[in-house]
Amino acid sequence: MAWFTVTVKCRPPASPVVLMFLTALAMAPALATAGQGGAGSIIGQVTDNSGGALPGVTVTATSPALQVRQMTTVTNAQGEYRLTPLPFGPYAVEYELTGFRTVHVQNVQLTVGFVARLDQVMELGTLAETITVSGASPLVDTTSGATRTTLVGEAIRILPSGQVGVHALLAQVPGARENLDVGGSSVTATARFDYNGQTGQVWQLLEGVLSGRQNNMGNGTKYDYTTVENARVQTSGNGAEMPKRGMLLDIVTKAGGNTFHGGGQWAQSHNKLQSNNVDDSLRALGIRAAPKLVKRFDRNAQVGGKIIEDKLWFFSSARLIRFDREVYNTFHPDGSPAVSKEASWFFVNKLSAQITPQNKVIAFANLPSAPSELLDASEFVPPSAAYTSGEDHRVFKAEWQTVRGSWFVGSLQAGK
């Protein structure tokens, strides 16, 4: 399947060739449309003290979230500018024009899909004068009326079970109802996507690519949530990238940069920590023992950094979740308990290349294994008659991002 996302800002008169290209692109067949995963924007207009538009102002954005050192644009004849696509994170924006005081805006926070509008007024002054504005980060995206909940990497990491699965994310969304989870019990369960008391059709995006079964039940557990850097959940007022009435889930993973970073984790449980409430009265009813935990652990390692500084970056992660447990009151012919074994591998790889200042290419692969689980085995169905389940939820993406002046911003994605 292929997704096409093109955002256009055009100043008349437009070239007939450009108009023909845009018309052909709009008529091109596509199975679905999806918003560019994680892309934010900073837009606005620069004026002087009298309210007149200021063309030719150099607008520069810097951020530790940028893989290149800075993003720069120049205001047009109407004093308008647009910096996009921008990865989520904190930004500092500087406005410079000869004969005017330089304006420096700090602490502009972008989240996934957020469009921050920053209009500035520049005063006459000398080249050495600078006005610094702190804490001016927009709190409302004035370009969208969607009801959204956005979680950045810091919030995801400090949430209890925040890196376990989609259930922890949905627990932070007003009106959403997630699976009942006790101590991570639903980490391998199929996720529920209910909100505002109704069952809707979920639209799941991973890195801007449609993934999963698009109905009430989804495959939200088939991602490695230790790699999630930003997540957006919208329940109403969705834009054109959401073709259904249900919940939009947009997940963006970590990416490499000019500095190396990495991490790992190891979590493990033992059946000696498991309680047992089977007493003589329960044994008299034929209950021999509570299902015992056989093996449970979660291991993860990830690293990201540069291959070529300011040009080519990578991020890779590997995770193994193992959960083996006895099936309640179910035994093999020799009397040994039946054991359901689940082993889930997750491999995430992301390459980003800045070909030119106006062109960027991203390649992404999410490669989870197909976990198997002994289903329908019970005291009435022997293990030999049960079956195992396994689903392939791999996601691939190749994306080309391009910017042409202040009138054209494009993103072409192909994925499955």
SS (H, E, C) 5-48: EEEECCCCCCCHHHHHHHHHHHHCCCCCCCCCCCCEEEEEEEEC
Res. 36 pLDDT band, cuts 50 70 90? very low
Least confident window among 182-191, 293-302, 382-391: 182-191
Q: Which residue has the higher pLDDT, 349 or 150?
A: 349
pLDDT tens digits for 71-109?
888 999 899 998 888 887 888 999 999 888 888 998 888
pLDDT tens digits for 45-75?
999 988 899 999 999 999 887 877 888 889 9
**Residue 376 to residue 378: CA distance in whole angstroms:** 6
**Residue 85 to residue 96: CA distance in whole angstroms:** 21
Q: Which amino acid is at 234?
A: Q
In DSSP terms, which residues pair with 218 in a beta bridge? 191
Least confident window among 60-69, 240-249, 282-291, 340-349: 240-249
Closest CA to 362 of 256, 222, 241: 256
Strand 120-121, strand 130-133: pairing:
unpaired
Q: Domains (ranges, CATH) in the chain?
A: 32-133 (2.60.40.1120), 147-253 (2.170.130.10), 261-415 (no CATH)
Number of H helices, E strands in the chain: 4, 29
Give me the phi and psi of 257, to 5 degrees please.
-150, -170
Six token digits for residue 410: 């494009």
**Residue 91 to residue 61: CA distance in whole angstroms:** 6
What pLDDT shows up at residue 30?
35
To the nearest whole number, what is the mean pLDDT of the chain? 77
What pLDDT shows up at residue 375?
72
Angle at 323 between CA 319 and CA 328, to 5 degrees: 165
**pLDDT of 272 over the 90 cut:** no
- Those residues whose C-beta lies under 8 Å from the C-beta of residue 413, and which sit 6 or more positions away, are 2, 3, 4, 5, 34, 36, 208, 209, 397, 398, 399, 400
**pLDDT of 217 over the 60 cut:** no
What pLDDT shows up at residue 411?
79
What pLDDT shows up at residue 9?
41
Across 63-72, 180-189, 372-381, 403-412, which has the greatest mean pLDDT?
63-72
**Residue 370 to residue 390: CA distance in whole angstroms:** 5
**pLDDT of 1 over the 60 cut:** no
